[in-house]
């Protein structure tokens, strides 16, 4: 038997927080469909970014229960642990938009830090030192590591924490609490820090879905600064497979970085997106390039993120499968086919 804790058991009761959001809905769908013997309990407060229709394919499956509620509600969270005998947690619920964190930092501190702490406390209380086959998986971001120079370097699991935005500071703080619960109480935790995701069902305030919306309607495409900031993009389905691996096989107390290995400057990405949307709409190639408008840079804008995911690749055998071109084409197609979802998402936020 290797050192890996392989936690696949015939029956598990897993709490997935933030399951009506972008990544969470893909995680819930994957676990409900792939593990019919597991009972998946989704907890989501259905904020502007959460949409119950994201779960429509699996909402009423017999191995799935949806609960509308807040992770900061201690009584509710404790009740869920006890009523459903929760033995595993995949924690994704968070306020996740950097620009919103700049205008409302307190909301991010309360939601992302106190919310995580509430879940950790509930797990500690419910599991009461009996940690066999239990797991608390905290899903975090590469933004906790700060920024890299344009000319090189990658974030590894031992990179220094140096968050620059209130969003990344709140995620960094929640990571520290998760690690502290492992080190202090031996809570069986794992943490994953992932690069930028893209794919179907992302709320249309983030760059890719927002710009698809604007290109279709011939609205301006506001690019921060000179557009030179670099991000490392990963298709959401590949992220979900990595989470499955780490949840079941990751070593307790450890951290795993997840990255797509597709580094693009924002302006390169926007140009690719324009080509893709114009081609799907049958417009002349590059017709929408003149929609690009450069706007004042975001405060504290990190220059470059790039993830070294060799630990996850070498030790757990994960690697991303989706090429960026194909993933982007699928994503664009999904948004063009789901205009009602987009309009409804925007209306819900008003």
Active-site residue list = 142-143, 167
Within 10 A of 67 (CB to CB), how many other CB atoms are there?
Answer: 16
Please report whether residue 322 would count as binding ligand NAD according to CB under 6 A.
no
Rounded Cα distance, 278 and 283, in Å: 5
By rule CB under 6 A, what count of residues binds ligand NAD? 31
Single out the residue of 14, 16, 24, 320 in contact with ligand NAD (rule: CB under 6 A).
24
| Pick from 135, 112, 109, 142: nearest CA to 187 | 135
Q: CA–CA separation, 19 vs 115, rounded Å? A: 15
| Residues in Cβ contact with 326 at an 8 Å cutoff, skipping those fewer than 6 apart | none
Considering only residues 197, 257, 266, 345, which one is a binding residue for ligand NAD as defined by CB under 6 A?
A: 197
User: Which residue of 15, 16, 21, 270 would you call a contact of ligand NAD, by CB under 6 A?
Assistant: 21
| DSSP-assigned letters across all residues of 173-227 | HHHHHHHHHHHHH---EEEEEE-EEE-TT--TTSHHHHHHHHHHTT--EEEETTS
Residue 71 engages ligand NAD in binding (rule: CB under 6 A)? yes
Q: Which two tokens stand for residue 9?
A: 């058991």
Contact yes or no for 46/70 (Cβ under 8 A):
no
Residue 22 Cβ vs ligand NAD, minimum distance, rounded to whole Å: 3
For ligand NAD, give the closer residue by CB, 142 or 288.
142
d(CA 266, CA 272): 10
Distance in angstroms (rounded) separating the CA atoms of residues 346 and 350: 7
Stretch that binds ligand NAD, among 3-11, 43-51, 56-64, 128-136 (CB under 6 A): 43-51
Tell me if 72 contacts ligand NAD by CB under 6 A: yes
Nearer to ligand NAD by Cβ, of 49 and 109: the residue is 49
Q: Which of residues 133-162 bind ligand NAD (CB under 6 A)?
A: 139, 141
Nearest-CB residue to ligand NAD? 21
Task: Confirm or reject binding of residue 345 to ligand NAD (CB under 6 A).
Answer: no
Give the C-alpha separation, 186 to 78, whole Å: 19
276 binds ligand NAD (CB under 6 A): no
The mark string for 86-115 relative to ligand NAD (x by CB under 6 A, - otherwise) is: ------xxxxx--------------x---x
Residues in contact with ligand NAD by CB under 6 A are 17-18, 20-24, 43-47, 49-50, 70-72, 92-96, 111, 115, 139, 141, 171, 194, 196-197, 203
């Amino acid at each position: 038997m290797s050192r890996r804790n392989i936690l696949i058991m015939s029956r598990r009761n897993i709490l997935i927080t933030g399951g009506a959001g972008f990544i969470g809905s893909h995680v819930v769908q994957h676990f409900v469909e792939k593990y019919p013997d597991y009972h998946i309990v989704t907890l989501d407060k259905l904020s502007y970014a959460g949409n119950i229709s994201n779960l429509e394919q699996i909402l009423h499956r017999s191995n799935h229960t949806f609960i509308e509620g807040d992770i900061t509600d201690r009584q509710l969270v404790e009740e869920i642990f006890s009523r459903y005998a929760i033995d595993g947690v995949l924690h994704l619920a968070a306020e996740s938009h950097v620009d919103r964190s700049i205008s409302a930092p307190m909301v991010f501190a309360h939601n992302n830090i106190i919310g995580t702490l509430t879940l950790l406390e509930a797990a500690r209380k419910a599991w009461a030192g009996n940690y066999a086959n239990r797991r608390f998986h905290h899903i975090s971001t590469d933004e906790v590591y700060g920024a890299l120079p344009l000319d090189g370097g990658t974030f590894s699991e031992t990179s220094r924490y140096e968050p620059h935005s209130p969003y990344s500071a709140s995620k960094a703080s929640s990571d520290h609490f998760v690690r502290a619960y492992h080190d202090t109480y031996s809570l069986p935790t794992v943490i994953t820090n992932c690069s930028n995701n893209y794919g179907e069902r992302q709320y249309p305030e983030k760059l890719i879905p927002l710009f698809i919306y604007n290109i279709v309607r011939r609205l301006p495409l506001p690019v921060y600064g000179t557009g030179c900031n670099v991000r490392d993009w990963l298709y959401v389905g590949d992220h979900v497979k990595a989470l499955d691996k780490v949840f079941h096989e990751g070593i307790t107390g450890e951290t795993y970085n997840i990255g797509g290995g597709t580094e693009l400057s924002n302006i390169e990405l926007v140009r690719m997106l324009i080509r893709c949307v114009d081609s799907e709409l049958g417009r002349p190639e590059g017709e929408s390039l003149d929609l690009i408008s450069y706007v004042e840079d975001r405060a504290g804008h990190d220059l470059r993120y790039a993830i070294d995911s060799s630990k996850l690749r070498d030790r757990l055998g994960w690697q991303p499968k989706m090429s960026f071109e194909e993933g982007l084409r699928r994503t664009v197609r999904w948004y063009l086919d789901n205009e009602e979802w987009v309009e409804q998402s925007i209306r819900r936020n008003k």
